[in-house]
Amino acid sequence: MIYLLLSILASTFIFIIFKLFDRFKINTLQAIVFNYVTACFCGFITSKNPLNVDDIVQSQWFFGAMALGFLFIAIFNVMAITSQRNGLSVASVATKMSVIIPVIFGIYMYQESTGFQKMLGILLALFAVYFVSVKKHATFHFKSNLLFPIILFLGSGIIDTSIKFIESTYIQDGGIPLFSSTIFFFAACFGIGILMFKIIGNNFKFNPQSILGGLALGIVNYASIYYLLKALHHETLESSTIFTINNVAIVMFTSLIGLALFKETLSFKNWIGVGLAIISILLVTLA
């Protein structure tokens, strides 16, 4: 359970850092690229296994890590845009509502438990993220209100499901740091490719603040994935339980932090969502 808690805290800090990018005029794309370089080094440093490129290339999870690297850079950019345009709570809700995708996958693929209390908790979790996302007096625009959150929803669900499948199928004991760093390596490569394209097109201006922003983001980003994989690797909790608790707790924490630090207002419905989040976590955990 301690691994799950650490993953939740690290993921919450990701949303906070994204919000600070906007405040301190940090170039999001450049910071995200530096973030993945940092996260990649974190994985290599913390790995107890020796770094052998041939072993990594020949591993069964290599191409999965490559695909996840592409998804990471793409969805991280969408997450940053959503956080800045729609607020912390909307970004976290769009990301964490996707919990339904890996939950259904875990129940179908691994025959995980579907008791009444657990299913009620999952259902309340979905209501929780909906109520937290409701914005008062918001003007509706498809691009700003639906397009990016929908992309974030689908992309996050695919990432979580893929991580669970690869972790349970191909990763051996002690292989989590190398797997994580390989994902971040490919994400960094794709990001550097985008920056090179901008440089060639004379559409690039270096932003020095992005280095510090990327370093901070990279450390917590690596921690969020590393501890999530450690939690999934533990045999005491099912993946459907882990993803539900992880996602709903992040929604709750980011909403409360958005209120306390960034003066984002919470309506009565938002507070109902926070309450439902707490109840759903208790139901799923105790189940």
Q: pLDDT 10s per residue in the chain (287 long)?
A: 799 999 999 999 988 898 888 788 899 889 989 999 999 999 989 888 777 889 899 999 999 999 999 998 888 778 778 777 777 667 766 776 788 888 888 888 888 888 899 899 889 988 887 787 666 655 545 445 677 888 888 998 999 899 989 988 998 878 899 999 999 999 999 999 989 998 998 888 999 999 999 999 999 999 999 999 999 887 777 888 899 898 888 888 888 888 888 887 888 888 898 899 889 988 888 87
Model confidence over 70-104: pLDDT tens digits? 998 888 778 778 777 777 667 766 776 788 888 88
CB-based burial, 47-71: b 16+ in 10 Å, e otherwise: beeeeeeeebeebebeebbbebbeb
Longest CA–CA separation in the chain, Å: 58
Domain locations in the chain as residue ranges: 2-113+142-238
Looking at residue 139, the DSSP 8-state letter turns out to be P
- Reduce the DSSP state of residue 136 to 3 states and report it: coil
Q: Which residue has the tokens 């906070």?
A: 16
CA 216-249-15 angle, to 5 degrees, is 30
Report residue 261 as tokens. 């630090």
pTM: 0.84
CA 200-218-153 angle, to 5 degrees, is 85
Model confidence over 57-77: pLDDT tens digits? 999 999 999 999 999 888 877
| Orientation angle between helical segments 176-200 and 148-169, nearest 10 degrees | 140
- Write down the pLDDT at residue 99: 81
Check: CB of residue 134 under 8 Å from CB of residue 270.
Answer: yes
- Write down the pLDDT at residue 142: 47
- Write down the pLDDT at residue 248: 85
